[in-house]
Amino acid sequence: MGRVHSAKKLNEPDIEPLSITELRPKEEYMSKLVPYAVHYMFDGVRQHFFKLAEQFSDVEAIHSASAHAYPDSDRQIAAHANLETARIKAQQLGITHIRWNEAI
């Protein structure tokens, strides 16, 4: 009797499956989103919201607060603004006392 070969479809690439040892850890290819709480005063009224992000900074908090305060407006602060420019613009928009922390 002859050997039985598995059928191969035409144009099917020769790909060998990865072994378990060749797989990368999940952390290497998936970003880790962290919840952050942002608190600020908007025209003297306390506001807060939560945001998921891989990283967060003072500039990102100011930018996010402006987007929260003015969701449908062009009055938001640019995400690429430097810290001092973002602070000045925020004060001009009535956004003050911005603070943020990693939410638990």
Residue ranges covered by each domain of the chain: 29-44+53-102
pLDDT recorded at residue 76: 78
Q: How far apart are CA 83 and CA 87, in angstroms?
A: 6
Task: Quickly state the pLDDT bin for 45 (edges 50, 70, 90).
Answer: very high
CA dist 24 and 71 (Å) reads: 39
- Closest by CA to 64, choosing from 35, 29, 26, 28, is 35
Tens-place pLDDT, residues 21-34: 555 555 555 579 99
pLDDT tens by residue, 52-61? 999 999 999 9
Nearest CA among 79, 69, 74, 73 for reference residue 49: 69
As a three-state string, the secondary structure of 1-34 is CCCCCCCCCCCCCCCCCCCHHHCCCHHHHCCCCE
